[in-house]
């Protein structure tokens, strides 16, 4: 075991493993960007990884390591044994870029992982630190890749044409000559498929859902948090049980009743159902927040002659604006993303919500880029909200993520 902890063993092993990670990443990245063939090469990975892994102990300058990595990669690629192998149609510039990316991607992190450690025997502490920094680096690359690739494909596919996609599904380079023509799918969705209306319907339903949810859950949450009555604890606990009810089970009887009463295919029907699915989670989140507010302020209000409802309106609500924002965002997100009920209850294209509209694009007659453009249209508003108000959203998610 101790022999394994020698810097002269750890360095090369980490170097090779890391280079493998980087070579794969660069190959995948270059393939997705240029559409040409790139793949990791075994011999080059071994050679460069070995070299950099050993050099990282000596070269204490990260720029030197980056330079060495890039040059070695480039030279090996020229003779056909590079860490990244290229197929036909790869230009010289792309090869150069490739080598540069491998150099930066390998040199910098390896310096951070191994630099400053001794080439002779490491302590257990040092050894584990190296392993952890390797795993950390791998984690960042891995998570960033798995999150970005699907969204990248979604956006890029929506900007391509059907023939181009069939010819080379990897080629995501954009034809800039088209200018605004790039957005043809979006334009067609709005003019021919009525997506403007869907966008409005979704927005309207989500906002109404948020308001009705707050209207119902604020008094309820206040009662559970502040008032003393028999069954308060049991109630606040059993409200959690509502989360465990699968929507599909409830949707079946709702479908039957709505079919018989003619509420199917009406937005009013959806508005009857949506808030109820979010009231429990909202009540649960709000009561937690209300409990944290100082009761003295409210008692002072009561002493001064306010009624309970006036206390809620004039004291509790202004104090809990951040919580209301979190809850509203979370509820908005649930309503906006809701698919199952909209799918089951709406058949009339003039009344579709956005998610239902996107689902209707999933047929063999509609080209793929339209489907992806629809997906982008459904995703962008919620993402803008999310990025703009990330703090509230994260809070809402953590408190409410009991619901999946």
Q: Hey, which residues between 137 and 166 contact other proteins (CB under 8 A)?
A: 139-140, 143-144, 146-151, 153-154, 157, 165-166
Contacts 24+ apart (CB under 8 A), 267-272: 267/201, 267/204, 267/205, 267/351, 269/345, 270/205, 270/341, 270/342, 270/345, 270/346, 270/353, 271/205, 271/208, 271/209, 271/212
| Residues from 187 through 226 that contact other proteins (CB under 8 A) | 215-217, 219-220, 222-224
Q: How far is the CB of 244 from other proteins (least distance, A)?
A: 5
Q: How far is the CB of 241 from other proteins (least distance, A)?
A: 6
CA distance 360 to 194: 12
Sequential DSSP letters for 336-392: HH--HHHHHH---GGG--HHHHHHHT-STTS-HHHHHHHHHHHHHHHHHHHHHTHHH
CB contact set of 97 (below 8 Å; sequence gap of 6+): 30
102 binds other proteins (CB under 8 A): no
Of residues 46, 263, 339, 366, which one binds other proteins by CB under 8 A? 339
| Residues from 109 through 128 that contact other proteins (CB under 8 A) | 124-125, 128
Backbone torsion region of residue 265, taken as left when φ is above 0, otherwise alpha when ψ lies between -120 and 50, otherwise beta: left
Of residues 193, 195, 336, 352, which one binds other proteins by CB under 8 A? 336
Of residues 272, 293, 302, 319, which one binds other proteins by CB under 8 A? 272
CA distance 258 to 254: 6
- Which range, of 57-65, 114-122, 315-323, 356-364, touches other proteins by CB under 8 A? 356-364
- Which range, of 13-21, 69-77, 238-246, 316-324, touches other proteins by CB under 8 A? 238-246
Of residues 173, 265, 266, 337, which one binds other proteins by CB under 8 A? 337
* Cβ atoms of residues 373 and 189 within 8 Å: yes
Of residues 39, 62, 94, 184, which one binds other proteins by CB under 8 A? 39
1 binds other proteins (CB under 8 A): no
CA atoms within 13 A on the CB side of 326: 22
Using CA atoms, how far residue 248 sits from 97, 225, 254, 332, in Å, is 51, 31, 10, 21
173 binds other proteins (CB under 8 A): no
Q: How far is the CB of 42 from other proteins (least distance, A)?
A: 11
| Residues from 284 through 323 that contact other proteins (CB under 8 A) | 308
Q: From residue 81 to residue 100, what is the string marking binding to other proteins with x (rule CB under 8 A)?
A: ------x-------------
- Size of interface with other proteins, in residues (CB under 8 A): 109
């Amino acid at each position: 075991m101790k022999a394994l902890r020698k810097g002269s063993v750890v360095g090369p092993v980490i170097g090779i493993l890391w280079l493998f990670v980087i070579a794969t990443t660069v190959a995948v990245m270059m393939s997705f960007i240029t559409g040409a063939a790139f793949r990791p090469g075994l011999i080059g990975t071994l050679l460069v990884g070995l070299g950099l892994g050993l050099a990282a102990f000596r070269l204490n300058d990260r720029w030197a390591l980056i330079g060495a990595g890039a040059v070695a990669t480039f030279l090996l690629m020229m003779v056909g044994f590079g860490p990244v192998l290229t197929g036909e149609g790869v230009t010289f510039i792309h090869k150069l870029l490739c080598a540069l990316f491998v150099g930066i991607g390998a040199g910098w992190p390896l310096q951070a992982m191994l630099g400053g450690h001794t080439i002779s025997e490491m302590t257990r502490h040092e050894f584990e630190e190296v392993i952890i920094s390797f795993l950390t680096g791998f984690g960042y690359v891995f998570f960033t890749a798995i999150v970005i690739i699907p969204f990248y494909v979604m956006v890029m596919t929506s900007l391509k044409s059907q023939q181009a996609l069939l010819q080379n599904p990897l080629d995501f380079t954009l034809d800039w000559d088209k200018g605004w023509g790039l957005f043809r799918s979006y334009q067609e969705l709005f003019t021919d498929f009525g997506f403007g209306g869907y966008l409005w319907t979704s927005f309207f339903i989500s906002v109404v859902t948020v308001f009705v949810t707050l209207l119902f859950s604020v008094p309820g949450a206040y009662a559970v948090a502040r008032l003393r009555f028999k069954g308060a604890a049991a109630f606040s606990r059993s409200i959690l049980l509502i989360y465990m009810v699968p929507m599909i089970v409830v949707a079946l009887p709702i479908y039957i009743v709505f079919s018989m009463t003619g509420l199917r295919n009406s937005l009013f029907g959806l508005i009857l159902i949506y808030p109820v699915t979010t009231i429990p989670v909202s009540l649960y989140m709000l009561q937690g927040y209300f409990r944290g507010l100082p009761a003295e302020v409210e008692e002072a209000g009561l002493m001064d002659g306010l009624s309970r409802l006036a206390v809620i309106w004039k004291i509790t609500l202004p104090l809990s604006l951040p919580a209301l924002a979190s809850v509203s965002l979370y509820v908005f997100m649930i309503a906006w993303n809701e698919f199952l009920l909209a799918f089951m209850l709406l058949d009339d294209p003039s009344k579709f919500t956005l998610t239902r509209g996107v689902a209707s694009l999933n047929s063999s007659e509609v080209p793929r880029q339209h489907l992806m453009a629809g997906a982008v249209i459904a995703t962008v508003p919620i993402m803008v909200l999310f990025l703009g108000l990330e703090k509230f959203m994260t809070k809402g998610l953590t408190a409410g993520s009991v619901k999946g």
